[in-house]
Chains A and B, each alone.
Chain A
Amino acid sequence: DARVTQTPRHKVTEMGQEVTMRCQPILGHNTVFWYRQTMMQGLELLAYFRNRAPLDDSGMPKDRFSAEMPDATLATLKIQPSEPRDSAVYFCASGRPNRGLDEKLFFGSGTQLSVL
């Protein structure tokens, strides 16, 4: 049963530390998204890639966040330095959109990040 795999599931760190979250998209999916869920903003888009190329990272604080896809099986989201306001659940999602036919995304279980 194909699924998006995210690691770690939980991360507790101190302010100022670097945090790296990893995502393995479903094999064959060419589009990968990073979303952040907070109580106030719901699911907000941070960045997304098509065929490993970044398409939009306008939702991401550029000074501390970075997203990459070193290969088709791995996407990473880094925060350096982390701050308490970064505490949230971070979701990775993948898909293979075909306009109007199948634009749904499959989500991982998320990384629960707590920055103290």
Chain B
Amino acid sequence: DQQVKQNSPSLSVQEGRISILNCDYTNSMFDYFLWYKKYPAEGPTFLISISSIKDKNEDGRFTVFLNKSAKHLSLHIVPSQPGDSAVYFCAASGWSSNYKLTFGKGTLLTVNP
């Protein structure tokens, strides 16, 4: 039972444009959400996070939006760069899960020059 779902296995965008990666969750007890980026042959690296008390968090070119009523979050990358090409994982946790991070299956983003 996937509690965190990334329904798009892949996404391709042009350099300079906006990339939007989506994530849905089913567990209403989740209250903290994170995005990780993963390059081949490396471990995932933390990108940005958001607490459930907020609906937006921004860090440079990266913005995460949270819609609690829809149990949906998205990651916006503006402008997209070729170096952003990687697999992006959405993750969620909650106090009831004892800080256990549950990950989605990932979305492969390709930014074309």
Interface set of A (CB-CB < 8 Å, partner B) = 4, 31, 33, 35, 41-45, 48, 50, 55-56, 91, 93, 95, 97, 99-100, 103-110
Contact = CB atoms under 8 A, between A and B. Distances in A.
B32 A103 contact: yes
B100 A56 contact: yes
Given A43-B89, A108-B43, A109-B41, A99 B95 contact: yes
Interface of B: 31-32, 34, 36, 41-46, 49, 51, 53, 89, 93, 95, 98-106
B43 A109 contact: yes
A41 B105 contact: yes
28 contacts: A31-B99, A41-B105, A42-B104, A42-B105, A43-B44, A43-B89, A43-B105, A43-B106, A45-B103, A55-B98, A55-B100, A56-B98, A93-B43, A95-B99, A97-B93, A99-B32, A100-B53, A103-B49, A103-B93, A104-B34, A104-B49, A105-B46, A107-B36, A107-B43, A107-B44, A108-B43, A109-B43, A110-B43
Contact of A103 (B34, B36, B89, B103): B34
A4 B45 CA distance: 11
Main SS of the interface on chain A? strand
A104 B101 CA distance: 9
A80 to B, nearest CB: 25
Contacts of B105: 41-43
Contact of A48 (B41, B44, B100): B100
A48 B53 CA distance: 27
A50 B53 CA distance: 26
B102 A45 contact: yes
Contact of B89 (A42, A48, A56): A42
A109 B42 contact: yes
